[in-house]
Amino acid sequence: MYLKTYDDWEKAAERLYLQNPDTARYSIIYQHNKGLFKVKMTDDATCVQYRSESMQEFKKMEKFVSNLLRHMASTEH
């Protein structure tokens, strides 16, 4: 399911991860020739995706990724 704005996606992805932190996975897909990136968060039941071409949104996404990385590697849930 593609979401229309980045903020919607971020909220949905965060909720999905917090609901099911053990099975949720997050992926970035980058296509150089099309100049776009897609981000996806799924727990095998629901899947939220977002597609964008802008560098600004990528920078926003970077913050989300670093938070997520911290969460995933931390010892407590």
Binding residues for other proteins, rule: CB under 8 A, are 21-22, 24-37, 52-56, 58-59, 62, 65-66, 68-75
Rounded Cα–Cα distance for residues 41 and 25 (Å): 6
Nearer to other proteins (CB atom), residue 14 or residue 58: 58
Nearer to other proteins (CB atom), residue 3 or residue 38: 38
CA-to-CA dists, residue 27 to 18, 48, 52, 59, 61, angstroms:
16, 11, 14, 16, 12
Q: What is the closest distance, in whole angstroms, from the C-beta atom of residue 37 to other proteins in the complex? A: 6
